[in-house]
Amino acid sequence: MYNKEDKILIIGAGGQIGIELVQELSLLYGSSNVIAADLKPIEALEVNPFEKLDVLDKDALLGVIKKHKISHVYLLAALLSATGEQNPMFAWKLNMEGLFNVLDLAKEKHISRVYWPSSIAVFGPTTPRINTPQYTVMEPTTVYGISKQAGERWCEWYFHKYGVDVRSLRYPGLIGWKSAPGGGTTDYAVHIFHEALKNKTYECFLSADTALPMMHMEDAIRATIEIMHAPAENIKIRGSYNLAGISFTPEQIAAEIKKHIPDFTITYKTDFRQDIANSWPQSILEDEARNDWKWSAKYNLPSLVKNMLQNLA
């Protein structure tokens, strides 16, 4: 259910998710109703109105919301797990203050709906790592994960306290061919395709047997749009929903790529991101998303690999 009158603001529109989300929402609402905002202009998005905006500047954010009569905000600006560990205090500031600015403007009724993504990074080494359920032990060990866990609790609090219609998904690592990843631990699963096609070899920064949940960007964008368009009464979780995606190791994705590029080889040289990956689940359960708003993913590992190689080639 969506209303053609809604006007959308995507903050962090120049990032890995933003570029694809702007394009998909533009198909539904029309390009002129989907406003792309980021710190700097976005070459890939020529047709949508663009606003140069720092989400930490609440007055400027309100100005953009009023100027375009925005109803829905998708807040994507954040530092991810790897870059967050390099700059912890700034990661905390950006990830939390950006969220507060948007939630406060929703509380003050300047906007009627908010989307804010969480991550599998909310889980930690004490979480059951296989088939991680929605409700379980959560002791994240990265600044990024701590900010996402805190953000989830704040979203729920703004919903209960002020009735803010905020919706959220715990994305796994996202894999798409239209845009580059921005500093996460799961980025290898995008880089591997570019290197396989260009050089037929890839040096992976995670070990061969590191299983992590991942998802094709097309599924992630569809999940985002579906949860934002679901009737409010179906959204039973106002923290964030687990999404399962597909779980695989570098060795397994490399073997799948080899079916298409037989002379592809992979080598391994782990770095600090290995410790982050070791603290995250290997596989996730998504029963609540399936039951509440009827979520179902389309891609498995073979179809994801085929799609990525075809499009990047």
Taking the complex as a whole, the smallest distance from the CB of residue 73 to ligand NAD amounts, in Å, to: 12
Asked if 174 touches ligand NAD (CB under 6 A), the answer is yes
Asked if 185 touches ligand AKB (CB under 6 A), the answer is yes
Query: What would the two tokens of residue 277 be?
Result: 């990956």
**What is the distance between the alpha carbons of residues 38 and 167, in angstroms, rounded to a whole number?**
21
Asked if 140 touches ligand NAD (CB under 6 A), the answer is no
From 115, 144, 202, 299, the catalytic residue: 144
Region 134-153 residues binding ligand AKB, contact defined as CB under 6 A:
144
Total residues in contact with ligand NAD, by rule CB under 6 A: 28
Report helix, strand or coil for 48.
coil
| Binder of residue 76, out of ligand AKB, ligand NAD, none (CB less than 5 to 8 A by kind) | ligand NAD
**What is the distance between the alpha carbons of residues 109 and 225, in angstroms, rounded to a whole number?**
22
Taking the complex as a whole, the smallest distance from the CB of residue 299 to ligand AKB amounts, in Å, to: 16
Q: Quick check: is 202 catalytic?
A: no
Contacts of 63 (CB under 8 A, 6+ apart): none
Query: What would the two tokens of residue 180 be?
Result: 């580059």
CA angle (84 as vertex; 82, 87 as ends), nearest 5 = 120
Report helix, strand or coil for 221.
helix
Asked if 192 touches ligand NAD (CB under 6 A), the answer is no
Report helix, strand or coil for 161.
helix
304: amino acid identity, one letter: L
- Residue among 184, 239, 250, 281 that touches ligand AKB (CB under 6 A): 184
Pair 179, 20: CB distance under 8 Å: yes
Asked if 38 touches ligand NAD (CB under 6 A), the answer is yes
Asked if 245 touches ligand NAD (CB under 6 A), the answer is no
- Residue among 26, 48, 168, 186 that touches ligand NAD (CB under 6 A): 186
Pair 1, 229: CB distance under 8 Å: yes
Asked if 119 touches ligand AKB (CB under 6 A), the answer is yes
Interface with ligand AKB (CB under 6 A): 80-81, 119-121, 144, 173, 184-186
